[in-house]
Structure 1
Amino acid sequence: MIESKLLKVKKWVDLNEAAIRLSIALDEPVNTLDLMELALEGELVLSVKFPFDKKYIARRMYEEHTPMGVRLKKLFKFECFFRHGNNLNEDEYLEEERKYIYQHYENFLASEVGSDLSEEQKSFTYYCENIKMVEWGYGEIGYLKENIYELSMLGAESIDVMWLIQQNREREMEELTNLDGVILRGSDGELYNLQEKFDDEFIRDMKSDSSSETKNNILDKFKLNERHYFPAGGLPVGCELGMSPVNMSLFERKLSEDESKIPEQLVLTTLGAALNEITSSSARKWTQGDLAIRIADKKIPGLSERTINGIFARCKKQYKSM
């Protein structure tokens, strides 16, 4: 990353500044659309900056690992209610539940055909007790303590980025929804599910509130009631997208590492072309730039002027380190 004293203390820059700085560092044009598309593809990490004058509410998220047998029983109970209501007796219910779980078990075996699972790992008991279903768990509701968070791209925030890309291209976009809501990553590495409040009329109509509101003491009135909130469908109005200097440096380093893997054939071709120019031309003092331009003019596949200069730079660095 281009040296900047200010970047050493800044926690965030907007997308326009990030694109400009990366363009300089990478020596090729980078725009905000590039950054948003790369973020969707998981190549870099964007951040969101919330307004200073507002407070936002979220719940911490964590992974829950539930044994497949336990989870499938819960799913069947939910599905059975809509399919059969309360019309099944106990024996019928248990039989339908067994069929439901066994069908998922057979699907699991079919998906693992050709794998190196042991006979024990293929057993029904192992599947129910040791194979885990990963789901989101949620902590208590509370106010976000920071105003800058990374976009995890696991929830509805990815839809917002898609919408911005389509809007900049003046294209229509179908309405999309992610029921998990907006999922942010804090500086502590934890995930947070951004929350949105139901409207006041809906809250007043909630039966659970009508019976308990009068019993709450004055302090309880200032506490957040998680029943009044739900996962936000998108990023709030007034927030800005950008990148942290740390993630900008990580992205640049990632590209630099890829560029450092220069095929041996290109290195040999470059050296051969350089030697040919030096030994076959009249006496003159060649500069690196002159050589790069002369070799690039030969239109050798894979050897652009920038690639040649990159090879020369690495050669000089290696030579000086000896």
Structure 2
Amino acid sequence: MKGDAVKKLFKLKEWLTLNEAAKRLTVSFGEEISEVDCLQLALDGHITISILLSDSRYAVKAKIVTTSKRELFSRTITETTSEGAFSSLLNDVRFFTNAELDFEYETIKREGAVVRLRHDIYDLPCPLLGSEELDVMHLFDIKQGRNPREFVNTEGAFVLSGGELYNIMESFNPLEFKRMNDDVLAYCDSVTGEKVDFDNHHRFFYPADGLGDVEFIFRRENIEKFEQQSLGRDDGDLTLNESLLVIGSMLKALKKAEPTSKRWTQDTLKAEMLDVGLKLSPRLLDEYFSSANKSFKS
């Protein structure tokens, strides 16, 4: 009954703490899953981890694009030859071969105006993309009792909102909301007094070093997706409901076996299954049997 109550409560929760997620996966996988395991699964790109943002943050839309040095240096190329091209940047002229110019790589493109992400729950990219990975790794080290490793990612931290990728931003100087000379209220740079142009993030903002003070959590839907992918079936395999139906009918048949002296009880069957090496805990097996009986009766 307790196991059923836990499952019902899980369905009612939209998100779980790190500790709650570890307990849930321990039951699902039938083996001990720790908070450290949950963090490593997120770091390895197996499960989407989320953050609980307690205050609003500046952010700008971002996307991953494929580019090359030839495209990047298109305005600085001064001379082209059959072997490559010369590029002049800040009076520094350098020759790049065609192989160097045409090599494609992924980069981050930021576009649009800087917006304010309100306090809410946000998924992190999976796999992790920027300095948000370093924040998760920082907690991963702490949970293991180790001194956190020091890394830097100049691209900043990324979150997902409404299916869009956002880069968390910080203002170069503190911003203040005040009345301008034209009697209009606006955000201003507290140092220069200049009105902030939110369409020009390069002028007033830079990618934040990390996520800041946040709590790492897991959305229920992301846990369910991970469980389905990890414990799911290949073509031809039974689904969980189908498996429970088979087990339920098997239990029913064993209970009705003749003669009476040969009947199997659920406890006897459980003991035999564990004795032959089934790697599940007795409590978890009881929960499966209970679910199987309910599935068959329904």
Q: Distance in 1 between matches of 2:76 and 2:122?
A: 34
Q: How big is the alpha-carbon RMSD for the aligned residues of Structure 1 and Structure 2?
A: 4.2
Say whether 1:60 aligns with 2:61.
yes
Q: Distance in 2 between matches of 1:57 and 1:252?
A: 34
SS at match of 2:138: helix
Task: Compare relative contact order (CA 8 Å, sep 6+) and give the higher one, 1 or 2.
Answer: 1
Say whether 1:229 aligns with 2:202.
no
TM-score by length of 2: 0.66
Q: Distance in 1 between matches of 2:168 and 2:134?
A: 15
Name the aligned partner's letter for residue 232 of structure 1.
A
Q: Hey, what does 2:108 align to over in structure 1?
A: 136
Deviation at 1:157, TM superposition (A): 0.9
Q: Hey, what does 2:250 align to over in structure 1?
A: none
Q: Hey, what does 1:196 align to over in structure 2?
A: 170
Q: Distance in 1 between matches of 2:270 and 2:87?
A: 72
Does structure 2 retain, via aligned residues, the 8 Å contact 1:16–1:32? yes
Pairing 1:262-273 to 2, within 5 Å after superposition: none
Pairing 1:6-21 to 2, within 5 Å after superposition: 7-8=11-12, 10-21=13-24
Pairing 1:82-93 to 2, within 5 Å after superposition: 86=91
Name the aligned partner's letter for residue 86 of structure 1.
N
Does structure 1 retain, via aligned residues, the 8 Å contact 2:65–2:108? yes
- Structure 2 runs not aligned, ≥5 long: 79-85, 189-195, 239-259
Q: Hey, what does 1:28 align to over in structure 2?
A: 31
Does structure 2 retain, via aligned residues, the 8 Å contact 1:15–1:241? yes
Q: Hey, what does 1:290 align to over in structure 2?
A: 268
Say whether 1:104 aligns with 2:100.
yes
- Structure with the higher helix share, 1 or 2: 1
Name the aligned partner's letter for residue 8 of structure 2.
S
Name the aligned partner's letter for residue 35 of structure 2.
T
1:37-58 CA-to-partner distances (Å, cap 9, x unmatched) read: 100011111100011xx32110
Deviation at 1:86, TM superposition (A): 2.9
Name the aligned partner's letter for residue 177 of structure 1.
V
Distance 1:37 1:6, change over 3 A: closer
Pairing 1:173-252 to 2, within 5 Å after superposition: 173-186=148-161, 188-200=162-174, 218-221=184-187, 225=198, 226=201, 227-237=203-213, 239-252=214-227
Does structure 2 retain, via aligned residues, the 8 Å contact 1:183–1:193? yes
Q: Hey, what does 1:45 align to over in structure 2?
A: 48
